[in-house]
Structure 1
Amino acid sequence: MLKRITLVVILLVFIKPAYDYGKQILSDAQNILSEDNVITDVTSKVLSGEVMKDIEKTVTNSVEESQSPMVATTSGAVLPDKVNSVEALTDAFYYYFSQWETNFTIHYVGSTSDIENIIERATKDAAARDQYIQGHLSDRKIEYEYSKLDAKITVHQQYLTNAAQEEIVNREVASILSTISPESMTDFEKVKFVNDYIVKNTAYSTETTISPHSACAVLQEGKGVCQGYALLALKMLQELGVETKYVVGEVYTGGHAWNLVKVDGQWYHLDTTWNDPVPDRKNIVSYKYFLTTDAKMKLDHSWNQSDYPTATNDKYTVMSQVDHAYEVDGAIYYSNVDDNHKLYILDLSTGKTKRLTEARAQFIVGYGNWIYFSNYSNGAFLTKIKTNGTEQSIVYRDEVKDLFIEDGFLYFHTPDGLKQMEL
């Protein structure tokens, strides 16, 4: 007797709302350089590729050269030729899923009176063992031929990626995490590192070669949608030893995905997608959805709460104020969205905040004892202030944006192009 079942997993196209930031209206001003600073136009260098190499994503590994390692079953046993229980069938499905196998056959020995439900339970339980794999499962077709005590189950499984691409993900994640020292980091620091890395290196987009729903697209192409953001966050945080969940829910645009993370024994929501400004703003990170509570997420997210742990601790609520953040020596200098974007400092050890200046600050960076920013209280002029809030002064009298520091130079964009200043 031959019976065929076709299971289709419908991929949700998660769409992030495009926030309208509006245009800043700035007064015209003449460039006036301070005696201590020399500004150089380096626009031509950017066009020739000499500058900003640190913010370009380089793909160093090709799919063709990758090989996927063998993955054991959760019990550690060698996969047998035949399985004789739901648990063993689940092990078999998990094994093949973890190998990203597209076509495989499992020989089931046992009563087949409820074979359809047995297969459904086994596939569901196998997928649930690893949320990262589960998030990459796509369409599935199952055919089985059976007698009363025997079934031959043939599976045709599709994924968002393949084994070779997932090996690249493994290598790239390992490479990224090798740049930090997890053993000396707090859970908060680990989560912030992952959030910042994904936001700074990703633009929200469906225009990818690899599925935009995959972690691989986010890593390899620097583009993706919320599913890819959340799956990569899951992968990186688990590698760092942070207990993490992959959450599927709804927002006003439709299906959406994000994470729950456990920091110092408490659960918090983390939405890296909605922490990434749209349109993309290089190196700018929002923290509106960083380590937040169920109550706050419910304002614009919905999910089946019974499927996930509760998040009620509001210890990190202050992070929702933070925009254009620069972190150094246990403190975050930031533009406070709750106080007209004025420049603040947050002491990470105490959680206390303090206004550093009345100036409205954007594109904040730092070097030594100085903080540099675009002063939106004064024509968006380049301004500097000491980390203790003293000696504020204008450095360059023209509209500046997109500040970054590299090799002892401060770079910033002006209406006339990219400029540099030695620090």
Structure 2
Amino acid sequence: MKNFSKIVFVLMTAVFLCRTPDNSFGDQGSVSWDNPAYRGISEYNLSKSDKRTKRNSESQTVCSSYKEFKAALTDRLQARLNTFSITLKYDLGLDEVGSISEQALNEIKASDGYLYWNIVRYESRWEGTDGAIDMDCTADYLTTAGQEEYVRERTAEILSEIISNEMNDEEKVRAVHDWIVLNTRYDVTGTGRSAFDVLTLGSAVCHGYTLTAFEMLREAGIEVLIISGVPEMNHVWNMVKVCGNWYHLDVTYNDPLPDAALTVRYDYFLKSDDEMINASNPHTWESGYPAALLSYKEGSCLSDEITINGTVTDENGDVIENTPVFVRCRNSVRAKTMSDASGYYEFAGFGQGVYVVKISKKGYENEKATVRISESGVYEQNFVLRQKKR
């Protein structure tokens, strides 16, 4: 299924000012959230793969801060508990409970897309007084705890077959991408949505492709995100960080429809923002994701083939030796060297990226230049320094 609207929380707060003999007040409220990607999923669709889907927690967890609340909520969602209780005992107003639930889910979306996109709906009801609030929560998921255990085990098996320690980031992403495309067919019925569906049935819509890619790539050591398209797209895909830079990866659109055995496409493999926007099936997405500025060139992870070099001279063309030269990149690569007796400097061993090279020499104005590396090769950046005015 390829459309998502922004997270919409429906905050329903019913306040009951019930005066008790000691003049205290007791309030109640609730908040509910339906993942817009999964509206219309029936209870049967959620539980048909495992009749033991309902997992309840009988223990009450007491949280003394928002950090503890978020950790407790995350832990219970990861355990696929369907009902659980949390007590909030800290400086928190009853009218703030709904907002911290929304905040926690938004932060889970940013930090663990796999968990977030496995939640179908969430609801919490609370009562108490400011600083002492009891929450009863319910949640439904695409998968059960048992199914997720299978996903983890099967993912480890697959990765042991297709990933080796000698592979670079590009090769790992390609191996995972190809395995999913070759072992999955698009589910035209729209029922398969999870990584469990992909790994057991070999069929799913875009959510299943994307969740499977996320879990495999994360376990392979690749930084990965799940991207939500704008509502009219009705689609999700991944972003991956390869050799220090972010790229789009749409495994679903690279799988031919109707299914074609042993056929893998790369139309949406490691693409920039511009390439996705201008693709044959244009992609547009919600804000808040990293920028993918560069077009990936195959083999760009071979960083030992990339060199930045140049010379440092003054305005008269005379060599300036022993000049400190610094380089940094938005992926946190930082290095320093000195120009030699001929004014020459060199940096090597970098990957694809956007680098800033800066010169700082006493008595001269500071200079800097941007070097955009898109493929293996030598990138020359010369500097002409101007003396500082006295």
**Corresponding residue number in structure 1 for 2:124:** 142
Give the distance between the partners of 2:199 and 2:163, measured in 1 at CA. 21
Cα separation, 2, equivalents of 1:120 and 1:275: 34
Q: 1:261 aligns with which of 229, 240, 249?
A: 240
SS in 2 for 1:11: helix
Structure 1 residue 167 corresponds to structure 2 residue 149: yes
Bigger relative contact order, structure 1 or 2, given CA contacts below 8 A and separation 6+? 1
Aligned to 1:282: 261
* Alignment RMSD: 2.8
CA displacement 1:183-242 (0-9 Å, x = unmatched): 11111111111111111111111437xx52211111111111111111110110111111
Question: 1:90 pairs with 60, 65, 70, which one?
Answer: 70
Contact 1:267–1:310 under 8 Å retained in 2: yes
Counterparts of 1:233-382 in structure 2, within 5 Å, are 233-250=213-230, 254-299=233-278, 300-304=282-286, 306-316=287-297
Q: Which amino acid aligns with 1:286?
A: R
Q: Is the 8 A contact 1:206 1:212 kept in 2?
A: no
- Which residue of the partner structure matches residue 74 of structure 1? none
What fraction of aligned residue pairs are identical, expressed as a percent?
Answer: 33
Question: Does the 8 Å CA contact 1:94/1:126 hold for their aligned counterparts?
Answer: yes
Q: Secondary structure at the match of 2:253?
A: coil
| Change over 3 Å in CA distance of 1:162–1:245 after alignment to 2 | same
Q: Does 1:182 align with 2:164?
A: yes
Distance 1:102 1:277 in 2: 37
Letter of the structure 2 residue corresponding to residue 6 of structure 1: S
Shift of 1:5: 2.6
What amino acid is the match of 1:312? L
1:212–1:245 CA distance, 2 compared to 1 (3 A): same
1:12-39 deviations in Å (ceiling 9; x for gaps)? 58xxxxxxxxxxxxxxxxxxxxxxxxxx
User: In 1, distance between residues paired with 2:135 and 2:162?
Assistant: 45
Give the Å deviation of 1:80: 8.7
Counterpart selection for 2:37 from 2, 8, 11: 11
Write the letter of the residue equivalent to 2:184.
Answer: T
Q: Distance in 2 between matches of 1:166 and 1:198?
A: 18
Matched, 1:102 2:82: yes
Describe the SS at the equivalent of 1:255.
coil
How many angstroms apart in 2 are the aligned matches of 1:143 and 1:251? Answer: 29
* Structure 1 stretches lacking a partner, 5+ long: 14-61, 69-78, 320-348, 352-423
Query: Relative to 1, partners in 2 of residues 1:220 and 1:150: Cα closer, same or farther, differing over 3 Å?
Result: same
User: Deviation at 1:181?
Assistant: 4.1
The 8 Å contact of residues 272 and 296 in structure 2, kept in 1 or not, is answered as: no
Alpha-carbon shift at residue 65 of structure 1 (Å):
11
Aligned match for 1:194, one of 161, 173, 176 = 176
Q: Report if aligned partners of 2:61, 2:85 keep a CA contact under 8 Å in 1.
A: no
**Pairs aligned (count):** 259
What does the per-residue CA deviation read over 1:257-280, in whole Å, with 9 as the maximum and x for residues that have no partner?
Answer: 111111111211110000000000
The correspondence of residues 394-413 of structure 1 with structure 2, limited to 5 A, is none
Q: CA deviation at 1:127?
A: 4.5
Relative to the length of structure 1, the TM-score reads 0.57
| Pair 1:128–1:314, CA change in 2 (3 A) | closer
